[in-house]
Structure 1
């Protein structure tokens, strides 16, 4: 008992001062909770500045919810670690209300820390908000405790606890706001979490140290409470707190990624994989079949669009019902369904199911009591017959676009002696009209550097909206144009359009610094290319530094000496030159140091399986290191996931990213909107 009592001279007449004890294990546990809550909140807050299906304020709300709940949990776990020889209980209403200032202050702090324009006063106010929230939660929580004691506060320690919370919060907010543009390294995030956890814990235990507890003389103490920590209640708080914190993070990550994936890769109407996923998955197929349903628009005209939607749903049901389970189904266009078989067994099953589908479609289908007749054809290409399997989709298009094709639900297999010439020749012959009639057009995909966070350039990409075949994939028409020697003329058209676009942006006081143009291999060494570039720059009043020429590795392989000479001339004139699709060619690495290039672009094929594949990850790391050792800018193409970004940021000193994770290829009006939105957020 001697260790318990400490008589105070001023209160010794009527009261006795008592002191409590702490359980070290639970104290440590409370600090861990504060750190985990901070780490979780920072992870959610980071989503606010990333591409996401949800609005950034949604992530700020979740972050503040996590941090507020963490502060609240830490307080009551910390109180469970403290023992007094008196009865203690909680006012339920006040206990619940005490979480509100912590969450509100956390939201204000995160909101201020994410403002586009920040200064020292921003960090100061954000830190005050967080520190005030921590302190308010603590003292409201203490007010909600019901004990058979009288307690007072030491004014100095009371103010010190609030100052500690504010000062450490200001430091944490400043560090977080400063480094979040440049780093999302988990070690940095952990350090910031430790600092915020320190602010929460220090404030709590300093505030507890500021309290003096008194009991009346003669009060009968309940010594059983002295070493009792109410472990059952503590276990519930810890379990519930950790479950909610981790659950919110995992659930929100899953939901966001799932929605983003579905939005990008699935047709929202039929829920079938879309064309983008089809092109992504179109590798090494055994058999590709594409059903073309002809003139669906006549159903909309005869009935209405709602009825037409029901017809499409019925069609999809037929395909799903009759297609073998191992066969992949895609809706690649409004009127086209693609089926892919990847092995011999599924290929055999697919060919059998095509006949069943044809039999069903030759009969009228019943939709809302109406008999509907559909007309279509199925084009099939078997990879067994061809050495170059990537052309399998082109082969199918050649069948579908054959002039004498009929729509009686026939199943037509690709025949190179019949179909190839007709389709490819037609595409090659149409390109002049396409340039004149703006069927060919350009989209621009930004290149983004995260250190600092800015757009460092664009790549101009060619697209074709054909009046007969619809939107053709560049993977389909570019090889055809190259084979028929049309790409040089198309490249001249692209150069003119890009220069005109840069000049138009200049009038609007908009600059993307540099636009990259792909140059065909055979055109690189032609003196006509430099002549045209110079002419267009003079015509539109542009600088050569505003253009980057992207050439492939194979351009060097075919004629190394001539290619190096030509690229050297481009560099002397001030053009940047990028080596595109690096790693996919067959040139010797010893030539790389001799190439007078300025940029190295890592092909998407190396990025797809990063960081899951150790081999691909090691290859990418090696290419990045090689490029940086040669003082080249390294552009990483095809970046689509957060995991790829996290890995690649650690693999490079100053990575430049290009991919759907940051921005899709956009037409000029879309690009301007994206540009203005990102400038507001920066």
Structure 2
């Protein structure tokens, strides 16, 4: 059976640390192979043999010959796509290391304290697994024929998940998420089984616009039922931004449904760098027309803090990997704290996604900022009718405090 993090490399100039790490990783039984190196130079040689072999690299920062920061820079130059975990250092060192790693196109996802603890390593491996697959249990993709039939049969269906203000409990917006709902038996296919396939076969625009048309058509009714204003958020991939006609297509659909661009937030995933002129032009035109722009999944891609000041985003969404167990995760605390500072300075909205535990919510509330939260702790994505029922109940029972046990 393939383990969730199959191949791990541990780099440290201390033999004792390597022995402890190997014992802990063996005890966790989440990996097929564990490789250890006493120097970063030798570790880099092993990585070069097969850049795709190691799923995660644990590295000390302070080592002779080549230190951990040099290793991260070289890994970025090699286009290493796996996760990197560093040893514990002071907050400013961690913050700068995280920003430099992004500039080197390297996935630095956490730090580990010494003495090494089994629970901390296990938590970090779960982060690695999420980074690699965005789900620990990956179901097989549907076929291209099944996807085309779903489009022909008008089975692309919007599901809604709220973003809630952490201070007031008000529903600020609802993210629209794609599902395939069978017309025959009502069975539901999740996006993990068809979004990558749609991108691969150039069908992603058809899914996006089908979703956009249905959700915007339903929007006025949703607001009437809830008795309050909110916005709708839709996902676009960076590759879709290469279509220079994208803003005009979205504007036409909004006009048909008598909506304004200010009613809509466009979420752009941060997993791939925004670099082409067409992507940047589309991004700018969307903002010029009044759409809100959200940088989604911040923390798993390559947008660094300084770039946030230059791109026309109005909202940043902190990726689940930085929210999971944040109350005990120093790396996540440092990165999120820096992100809160910059979004406050730039007057950007901030959303924490993937909030699943009361402990995570309690920690986030200490920031005392206008943070919005999204996650299973409050609501899973729901169909239109289920979302309206949930939201009406939420509005009825919540005051100015968050309900820790929302309805399922």
Report TM bin, short chain: 0.5 to 0.7
* Match of residue 169 from structure 2: 453
Q: Is contact 1:285-1:341 (8 Å) kept?
A: no
From 312, 332, 356, give the equivalent of 1:596: 312
Q: CA deviation at 1:610?
A: 0.7
CA shift digits 1:86-105 (9 cap, x unpaired): xxxxxxxxxxxxxxxxxxxx
Q: Is contact 1:524-1:563 (8 Å) kept?
A: yes
* Match of residue 434 from structure 1: 150
* Match of residue 527 from structure 1: 244
SS in 2 for 1:646: helix
CA shift digits 1:165-197 (9 cap, x unpaired): xxxxxxxxxxxxxxxxxxxxxxxxxxxxxxxxx
What value does the CA root-mean-square deviation take over the aligned residues? 3.4
Q: Distance in 1 between matches of 2:344 and 2:319?
A: 16
User: Which structure's relative contact order is higher, taking Cα pairs within 8 Å and 6+ residues apart?
Assistant: 2
SS in 2 for 1:657: strand
Seen in structure 2, the aligned counterparts of structure 1 residues 447 and 465 have a Cα distance that, compared at 3 Å, is same
* Match of residue 342 from structure 1: 30
CA shift digits 1:396-427 (9 cap, x unpaired): 855xxxxxxxxxxxxxxxxxxxxxxxxx6x62
Q: CA deviation at 1:538?
A: 1.1
Seen in structure 2, the aligned counterparts of structure 1 residues 678 and 397 have a Cα distance that, compared at 3 Å, is closer
* Match of residue 516 from structure 1: 233
Q: Is contact 1:548-1:577 (8 Å) kept?
A: yes
Q: CA deviation at 1:284?
A: 1.6
Seen in structure 2, the aligned counterparts of structure 1 residues 651 and 509 have a Cα distance that, compared at 3 Å, is closer
Q: CA deviation at 1:505?
A: 2.4
* Match of residue 215 from structure 2: 498
Q: Distance in 2 between matches of 1:472 and 1:533?
A: 25
* Match of residue 219 from structure 1: none
* Match of residue 265 from structure 2: 548
Seen in structure 2, the aligned counterparts of structure 1 residues 394 and 506 have a Cα distance that, compared at 3 Å, is closer
* Match of residue 178 from structure 2: 462
| Unmatched tracts of structure 2, length 5 or more | 8-24, 34-51, 56-80, 83-128, 400-408
User: Greater CA radius of gyration, 1 or 2?
Assistant: 1
Q: Distance in 2 between matches of 1:547 and 1:668?
A: 17
Q: Distance in 1 between matches of 2:214 and 2:350?
A: 26
What does 1:204-353 correspond to in 2, within 5 Å?
A: 283-284=4-5, 342-344=30-32
What does 1:16-35 correspond to in 2, within 5 Å?
A: none
Seen in structure 2, the aligned counterparts of structure 1 residues 647 and 503 have a Cα distance that, compared at 3 Å, is same
Q: CA deviation at 1:672?
A: 1.1
What TM-score comes out, normalization by structure 2 length?
A: 0.62
CA shift digits 1:651-672 (9 cap, x unpaired): 2511100111122211111111
* Match of residue 611 from structure 1: 327
Q: Distance in 1 between matches of 2:227 and 2:326?
A: 34
* Match of residue 16 from structure 2: none
* Match of residue 283 from structure 2: 567
What TM-score comes out, normalization by structure 1 length?
A: 0.38
SS in 2 for 1:557: coil
SS in 2 for 1:284: coil
Q: If each structure's helix is expressed as a fraction of its own residues, which one has the higher value? A: 1
User: Do structure 1's residue 673 and structure 2's residue 361 form an aligned pair?
Assistant: no
What does 1:86-101 correspond to in 2, within 5 Å?
A: none
Q: CA deviation at 1:571?
A: 1.6
Aligned residues: 286
CA shift digits 1:417-469 (9 cap, x unpaired): xxxxxxx6x62232232134343322110000032221100001112346899
Q: Distance in 1 between matches of 2:347 and 2:221?
A: 33
Q: Distance in 2 between matches of 1:501 and 1:392?
A: 29
Q: CA deviation at 1:534?
A: 1.2
Q: Is contact 1:640-1:659 (8 Å) kept?
A: yes
